[in-house]
Amino acid sequence: MTSFLRKDLQDYKPASNLHFNERIKSLQKNGTKVFHLGFGQSPFPIPAFAQEEFKANAHNGQYLSMRGIPELRSAICTYHKTEDGLDHFSPDNIVVGPGSKELIFLLMCVTGSDVILLSPTWTTYKPQSILSQHNVFMIETTFEESWKLTPKKLNNLFEENIVKERSVLIFVNPDNPTGASYTREELEALSVVFRKHNLLVVCDEIYAQLSFNDSHVSLAKFYPEGSVLSSGISKWASCGGWRLGYHLYPQELQEVGEAVASAASQTYTCASAPVQYAAVSLMKFDDNAKSYVQHCKRILHEVAQFCCRTLRSAGVKVHMSNSGYYIFPDFCVIRDKLASRGIRTGAQMCEAILKDTGVALMAGGPAYLHPPEELTVRLCYVNFDGTKALKASEKIGLQKMLPESFLSENCAPTVEAISLLANWVRQQ
């Protein structure tokens, strides 16, 4: 029988990170002890005030405004004005959806340009570009460049006529999977090139509020006319499963924003009603929300530092993360030793680590658009009980530093996993 599938989707796979998560979860369900460092989601509970708001709106079963309720769009606008110093967005040019992932996909669907991705990058952009039938071009970043895009590399793509002007570039800052973030100077320099080539840049800044030293700067400050700001409540407010994200379009890209809003109305209709009302309480970003984020961030920061320190002590190359849940270590120090065991790819190495130590890691190769033989992994340092850790941090208070014993007392599964991993490296 002839296939009904599009030819280019014959081998279309589910999201590699979600697939991996389900595989590890099923191992755990069957009683295997696994330290799951392969899936990045907030370990912390949703702030109590937002949960209350959600419950209070559970009765609301109506379809809502297709762009999102006005009070939410207004709160989003004020939030980005206060937090990022961005005052060029208007509530009329915001689209709220069931996750920023869906909105990025709709944006790709309504634009006819080529798509430029960095490599490594988050697992979803390339499969979304294929689904929306775009040509995809990649710019490889390196450990030496701290996994960041440089103006020179971007310029090369145009000078060699590889990519057309007016393409869409997906720019994740702070980054998943590398934890990298860009300085003001780097953003200024990149903006010159973005402007020169008339790029539409999707600034995926969903990890911005988790910036460990509050140093996040939005690209939209330097390239306002070409930046679509993509964010949501999945990360800083621990609401991934609530499915609410949003896009802010500048006046200059209003046409694209309108088309995304139309596509939204033709596909998902509107984001969930109780979630939108609860999100208003989050986006108002009052003192309760601020304090919650400060606690979450300092715990994540402490854990990230421990991971980097411990892995470096075993010879692993790794850059410290600036935000979020991830680091992207490179285990090339044991390449020859692994080769003598017949292990030549990142995926084979991760299987060996899982078998030898019980630590689950996702290889940093093809899923992140990097070569299979690269020995990088995306390591998510969030396999601890966030409810317990948050309570302990709140008890200590923000005026005092976390004591040295904090991690071993409150984030023990991560400490154990990283210690096992470092020992495994030493034993090769």
Ligand X SMILES: Cc1ncc(COP(=O)(O)O)c(C=O)c1O
Nearest-approach distance from CB 34 to ligand X, in angstroms: 20
Nearest-approach distance from CB 329 to ligand X, in angstroms: 18
Give the residues across from 247 on adjacent strands: 95, 230
Nearest-approach distance from CB 99 to ligand X, in angstroms: 3
- The residue (of 67 and 101) whose beta carbon lies closer to ligand X is 101
CA 255 to CA 129: how far, in whole Å?
Answer: 20
Nearest-approach distance from CB 391 to ligand X, in angstroms: 25
CA 53 to CA 49: how far, in whole Å?
Answer: 6
Please give the sequence-ordered ranges of beta strands (E in DSSP) within 150-190, or none if there are none.
Answer: 168-172
CA 225 to CA 202: how far, in whole Å?
Answer: 12
Q: Give the Å distances, CA to CA, from 358 to 18, 205, 225, 423.
A: 19, 33, 48, 13
Alpha helices, DSSP H only, in 197-284? 254-267, 273-283
- The residue (of 173 and 428) whose beta carbon lies closer to ligand X is 173
Q: What angle do CA 97, 100, 103 make, to 5 degrees?
A: 65
Nearest-approach distance from CB 137 to ligand X, in angstroms: 19
Residues in the chain: 428
- The residues, ordered by sequence, that sit 6+ positions from 303 with a Cβ below 8 Å of its Cβ are 381, 382, 384, 407, 411, 414
Half-sphere exposure of 32 (CA within 13 A, CB side): 17
Closest-approach residue to ligand X (CB): 99
Half-sphere exposure of 16 (CA within 13 A, CB side): 20
- The residue (of 123 and 428) whose beta carbon lies closer to ligand X is 123
Nearest-approach distance from CB 342 to ligand X, in angstroms: 33
CA 225 to CA 201: how far, in whole Å?
Answer: 10
Nearest-approach distance from CB 344 to ligand X, in angstroms: 29
Q: Give residues in contact with ligand X (CB under 6 A).
A: 99-101, 122, 172, 176, 204, 206, 232, 234, 240, 245
- The residue (of 240 and 413) whose beta carbon lies closer to ligand X is 240
- The residue (of 100 and 209) whose beta carbon lies closer to ligand X is 100
- The residue (of 99 and 257) whose beta carbon lies closer to ligand X is 99
- The residues, ordered by sequence, that sit 6+ positions from 40 with a Cβ below 8 Å of its Cβ are 17, 176, 324, 325, 326, 378, 380, 382
- The residue (of 368 and 406) whose beta carbon lies closer to ligand X is 368
DSSP state of 317: B
- The residue (of 203 and 334) whose beta carbon lies closer to ligand X is 203
| Residue 44 and residue 238 in contact, taking contact as beta carbons nearer than 8 Å | yes
- The residue (of 187 and 244) whose beta carbon lies closer to ligand X is 244
Give the residues across from 228 on adjacent strands: 202
Q: Give the Å distances, CA to CA, from 338 to 226, 261, 352.
A: 46, 51, 10
Nearest-approach distance from CB 210 to ligand X, in angstroms: 11
- The residue (of 100 and 272) whose beta carbon lies closer to ligand X is 100
- The residue (of 175 and 374) whose beta carbon lies closer to ligand X is 175
SS3 400: coil
Nearest-approach distance from CB 273 to ligand X, in angstroms: 18
Q: Give the Å distances, CA to CA, from 82 to 79, 86, 285, 412.
A: 5, 7, 10, 36
Nearest-approach distance from CB 234 to ligand X, in angstroms: 3
CA 12 to CA 133: how far, in whole Å?
Answer: 13
Nearest-approach distance from CB 415 to ligand X, in angstroms: 24
CA 174 to CA 181: how far, in whole Å?
Answer: 4
